Structure 1
Amino acid sequence: MANFLMDSVTEIFSPFTLRVLLYCALLPICYAIYFCRKTKSTLPWVAYNDEGLHNVEKARKQWVEHCNEIIDKGLREVKGAFQVQTDLGPKIVLPNSFAEELRNNDQMLFSEAIEEELMATYSGLTPISLVTFDHVFQDLTRVNLTRSLDAVTPELNEETRVSLQRLLGDSEEWQQTSLRTFFNGLIVRLSTRVFFGKELCQNQEYLNHVVSWGTLVLMVNITLRQWPLLLRRVVHMLHPLSRQLRNERAATSKIVAPIIHERLDQKQQGQKSAKVSDMVGWMEEIVQKKKAKMDLVDGQLFMAFVAVETTSTTVAYLMLDLLDHPDAIPRLRKEIISVLRNGGWKKTSLQQMKLLDSAMKESQRLHPLNMVNMQRKVTRDITLSDGTVLPKGAHTFVRWESRCSAETYPNPDEFVVDRFLEKRESGEAGASSKWQFVTTSPDHMGFGHGRQACPGRFFASNEIKVAMVHLLLKYDWAYTDDGRKPVQVVSNIPIMPFEQNIAFRRREMEDSIDF
């Protein structure tokens, strides 16, 4: 699957003549419109070099290849905000110092920005556009799911135990697995168990479709970004990856739709759901309350996508960081064992795993899921405290500069497993809560910052901790002979290498630990 996807990114259309004729016919029109696009902002432009300043298409390609260099150049040369030409059009870059000022601005919307970022109005990608539906999913995760965390943790624990037995087994001989495939497989099972229950969690066909659709969302976006803006919808209609994306969505809907309809019928008949977290029921209640017209089947696919793709990548990076620093693993095991021996899986167990929480936050600092943060679309003209005007319709993002600041994080390029544990125990006012994995701040925007920060981060934190407890206590881990593969960055999106493999074997667990 991974090899097919990577090969397909560069696959040309068939027949080739159709592609060439289409491109030649539309290109002059596209360029005429594209070059005439004007932005209302008077902020200075920054590009990789002078060619990018005078040629929009060159600037777009430079962004794909040199995103970080362009942003860093702007921060060095411009005092305050500036503009860049990205593969999705012009955007305004705001220094880290603006994060607090913008954190709760209701006239700058993350949902509108991410809808365009992920091309969510394109066929097959439309479940992602549900992020803009009247805060349905924000309320669903921030309120319903977060309030149920204590109740769903035992389910996460049970499902992790069952899933690891299926995915890894009990062999004490060294074996190897694809890092991406393994963590996608684990996290999709855990999320499905909580969102849907055992029925779908044990349906391998459904799990495969969900993971495949999420991977294809990423690959289709990468592929389309290589084309001029005004040709992308045409390319999307014809490209084989896009066709596969639409097929995966349809296949998933075919499995999920009957289950959703059955549960809604049961609810109308007064039957109470047996599930601890009734995601379908919650979603329907919020949709009815807000009078939103929304497809619940697409809603489930969207929830699966945001839960699986982001969390599996986050925990995969954490595993790689621990393999790079194997001395951290015994320390983490020691903390986990101490917590479980003193109380087992009680309500506060995960909260007491502070070193693990620190390791998660440190890994997230080193490996953000996007090279731009606090993405927003401006819904009306806004004047910032320094006089900078953000025009209506502009796309903006804040650069998380402090992530690599030696002043904020000594030895910023190094993974320090207890970095945030030490900060929490520093005695400074508010430090105990400020440096937790789930807490956002201008100095740590892995989940964004402010009211529009990731609402599912509390569930993701518990899910990762439960998974890591099992993975560290039950298995030994190592690199294969190929070692660690470099991360590829396309535009502002870091991509976990598809070919990254890791080795594992069952280990003998410590006495008196039962979970």
Structure 2
Amino acid sequence: MASEPSASALADSSFSVSLDSFRLSSEAWSILVALVAAVLAYKIWTDHKFKLPPLINPPQTFDLSGAAVKKDFIQRSNELIQEGSKAFGGEPYSVISDTGRVIMLAPKHVDEIRNDPKLSFLKNTEHDFHAYLPGFEPFGAGNAIQILIMVAKKQLTKFLAKITKPLSDETAFSFQTVLGDSTGMNYPSINIPLLSNIVGYTKWHEVGLGQTILNVVSRLSSRVFLGPEICRNEAWLNITVMYVVDSFIAAERLRIVPKPLRRIVHWFLPECQRVRSHVAQTRSIIQPVIDARAREKRAAVEEGRPIPTYDDAIQWGEEESARSKYDPAIYQLAMAGAAIHTTTDLMTQLILNILPRPELLAALRSEMIEVLGKEGWAKTSLYNLKLMDSVMKETQRMKPIQSISMGRIADAVVHLSDGTIIPKGMKVAVANTLRHDPTIYENPLEFDGYRFLRMRQTPGKENQAHFVTTSPDSLGFGHGLIVDPAEPDLGNCSGKAGDLGRALARDNTALV
């Protein structure tokens, strides 16, 4: 019979197990420390090899994941960019943003990098919005954005000439739906900034400015992109609004998470779950329309009739994607995201600038009455809304949607003329600081709705004054080979703003 182990033997055994566990733990810690040291050594080596510009917001010693410095950037991005631009003048510097380390270039570098094929706008968007994760496919450089850019350049600009009048009608319908009829019945009662006193009704009622504009813009964009079949589908309108909101929030939250963990974490974040749900709902709305059109085309061929064509983004996407993979649902969300977010911000700021200035509002009303009275709703009439165009450009100058522009990722090492080296894989952007430069703009911190109207009348500067014209001192749309894909739609904001002006001309409006 085997003897029982002695107490001494058990103690020795327990000590041995504990010692082995300690050794394993020590080995694990050694590996972890070695990995951290390797990462730090690589960063130091990279900084030294490429002489990276100085970093204005280095992370704290124990902020190994960079989460703290990223959160600080989210809260103080404008302040940090202003501090960096002031401290370094026209010289490059680096900043750790929520998307990673970025080399901030001065406006003097704009023309040098604007068309450099080694600096990729598409890959930068793909990186910042996690296009490799389910639900974020509309931000993918490989398909949706490329097709979107081709549609914007080749199809949308030409189509706007046809859509001006229908867009005006849809604007009137949208305002009536969102704000209520002018009969004094069925008023919305949203308790935020904009007050609208409908003619013939003496009681003021409140509506939320931001949400109102967001709803109207989503309806107008859907009219341009999807035609009358879907543009008033409430489920689709809700998706176009909420996908933009949820995807931006979800992307920001994921940026705080170390990249290796994002493929796991995104399954559990509520915002990411909603983003995936929006994509699934989009497929259920768009696919039946595509299937119905396919049946119509087959029937036309069988019956010997002309094959029907459609002037909307579904048709354009099929045409531009003939030689590449095409996902209609992803593409439609990319279109909506590009147009709605930027347009809503601009229109909201536009109203906030117009309403406190009754003289400017009166002048805009007069311009609309004169131009539309002569020409009606045509593309040429939009060109002749010159004061409106000036007010829009001044609005964008005063408060662009973001303080940096021209975000890119380097596909290869880039050498700038001043000796700055941009390593492969490094992000770059340009600080949008010239918009407040007193050597370019008189009284740059003051809003002047007539600023660019006067510039139009200055020989040699006529074209620089147009709302959609980009330059180093006007980076609202970016600058170069790829500008904001929403620019054609934003360019047609003159029509949307004109309809807004018509609403303002009809109604008495004020800010609380």
Question: Same fold, TM exceeding 0.5?
Answer: yes
Letter of the 1:65 counterpart? Q
1:18 match: none
Shift of 1:162: 1.6
Closer, same or farther: CA 199–46 of 1 in aligned 2, 3 Å? same
1:156 match: 167
Q: Does 1:283 align with 2:317?
A: yes
- Give the conservation status (yes or no) of the 8 Å contact 1:52–1:58: no
User: Relative to structure 2, which stretch is displaced further, 398-407 or 72-81?
Assistant: 72-81
- Give the conservation status (yes or no) of the 8 Å contact 2:470–2:478: yes
Q: Does 1:368 align with 2:378?
A: no
Shift of 1:474: 2.7
Paired with 1:335 and 1:226, the residues of 2 have a C-alpha distance of 48
Letter of the 1:281 counterpart? Q
1:42 match: 51
2:457 match: 425
Q: What is the aligned counterpart of 1:76 among 79, 86, 90? A: 86
- Give the conservation status (yes or no) of the 8 Å contact 2:365–2:502: no
Letter of the 2:440 counterpart? T
Paired with 1:190 and 1:459, the residues of 2 have a C-alpha distance of 10
Q: What is the aligned counterpart of 1:129 among 137, 140, 158? A: 140
Paired with 1:267 and 1:435, the residues of 2 have a C-alpha distance of 46
- SS of the residue 2:390 aligns to: helix
Give a deviation string over 1:182-220, Cα, whole Å, max 9, x none: 112111111111211112112111111221111111221
- Give the conservation status (yes or no) of the 8 Å contact 2:164–2:495: no
Closer, same or farther: CA 202–104 of 1 in aligned 2, 3 Å? same
User: Relative to structure 2, which stretch is displaced further, 34-43 or 356-365?
Assistant: 34-43
Shift of 1:272: 4.3
**Gaps spanning 5+ residues in structure 2: where?**
1-28, 185-197
Shift of 1:101: 1.4
- SS of the residue 1:477 aligns to: strand
User: Relative to structure 2, which stretch is displaced further, 34-43 or 322-331?
Assistant: 34-43
Closer, same or farther: CA 441–404 of 1 in aligned 2, 3 Å? same
1:87-486 equivalences under 5 Å are: 87-130=98-141, 135-168=146-179, 169-170=181-182, 171=184, 172=198, 173-267=203-297, 269-270=300-301, 272-273=307-308, 275=310, 277-288=311-322, 291-427=323-459, 429=460, 431-466=461-496, 467-480=499-512
2:194 match: none
What TM-score results when the alignment is normalised by the length of structure 1?
Answer: 0.81
- Give the conservation status (yes or no) of the 8 Å contact 1:47–1:53: no
Letter of the 2:245 counterpart? T
**Gaps spanning 5+ residues in structure 1: where?**
1-24, 481-515
Paired with 1:207 and 1:141, the residues of 2 have a C-alpha distance of 21
Shift of 1:53: 12
- Give the conservation status (yes or no) of the 8 Å contact 1:260–1:297: no
* Number of residue pairs the alignment of both structures matches: 449
Paired with 1:147 and 1:166, the residues of 2 have a C-alpha distance of 29
Letter of the 1:307 counterpart? A
- SS of the residue 1:191 aligns to: helix
Shift of 1:47: 2.2
User: Relative to structure 2, which stretch is displaced further, 449-458 or 327-336?
Assistant: 449-458
- Give the conservation status (yes or no) of the 8 Å contact 1:83–1:90: yes
- Give the conservation status (yes or no) of the 8 Å contact 1:355–1:418: yes
Give a deviation string over 1:22-44, Cα, whole Å, max 9, x none: xxx9xx79977865662463223
Paired with 2:297 and 2:113, the residues of 1 have a C-alpha distance of 42
Letter of the 1:261 counterpart? D
- SS of the residue 2:492 aligns to: helix
What TM-score results when the alignment is normalised by the length of structure 2?
Answer: 0.81
Paired with 2:262 and 2:68, the residues of 1 have a C-alpha distance of 17
User: Relative to structure 2, which stretch is displaced further, 130-139 or 397-406?
Assistant: 130-139
Give a deviation string over 1:308-330, Cα, whole Å, max 9, x none: 12211211111112123333211
Closer, same or farther: CA 311–53 of 1 in aligned 2, 3 Å? farther
- Give the conservation status (yes or no) of the 8 Å contact 1:405–1:412: yes
Paired with 2:136 and 2:57, the residues of 1 have a C-alpha distance of 31
Closer, same or farther: CA 384–308 of 1 in aligned 2, 3 Å? same
- SS of the residue 1:84 aligns to: strand
Shift of 1:49: 7.1
Closer, same or farther: CA 89–196 of 1 in aligned 2, 3 Å? same
- Give the conservation status (yes or no) of the 8 Å contact 2:168–2:495: no
Closer, same or farther: CA 201–48 of 1 in aligned 2, 3 Å? same
Shift of 1:355: 0.5
Paired with 2:483 and 2:75, the residues of 1 have a C-alpha distance of 28
Closer, same or farther: CA 459–67 of 1 in aligned 2, 3 Å? closer
Give a deviation string over 1:94-131, Cα, whole Å, max 9, x none: 10101111111122111111111222222211122157
- Give the conservation status (yes or no) of the 8 Å contact 1:366–1:403: yes
2:12 match: none
Paired with 1:379 and 1:333, the residues of 2 have a C-alpha distance of 49
2:97 match: 86
User: Relative to structure 2, which stretch is displaced further, 358-367 or 217-226?
Assistant: 217-226
Paired with 2:124 and 2:328, the residues of 1 have a C-alpha distance of 23
Paired with 1:152 and 1:360, the residues of 2 have a C-alpha distance of 21
Closer, same or farther: CA 197–273 of 1 in aligned 2, 3 Å? farther
- SS of the residue 1:478 aligns to: strand
1:500 match: none
- Give the conservation status (yes or no) of the 8 Å contact 1:420–1:435: yes
- SS of the residue 1:396 aligns to: strand
User: What is the percent sequence identity of the aligned residues?
Assistant: 31
Give a deviation string over 1:434-484, Cα, whole Å, max 9, x none: 11001101110100012211243233222443333333323332223xxxx
Shift of 1:52: 8.2
Paired with 2:163 and 2:307, the residues of 1 have a C-alpha distance of 17
Give a deviation string over 1:145-179, Cα, whole Å, max 9, x none: 11122111111111112222211221323222122
Shift of 1:284: 0.9
Paired with 1:98 and 1:218, the residues of 2 have a C-alpha distance of 29
Paired with 1:279 and 1:54, the residues of 2 have a C-alpha distance of 46
Q: Output the aligned Cα RMSD.
A: 2.6
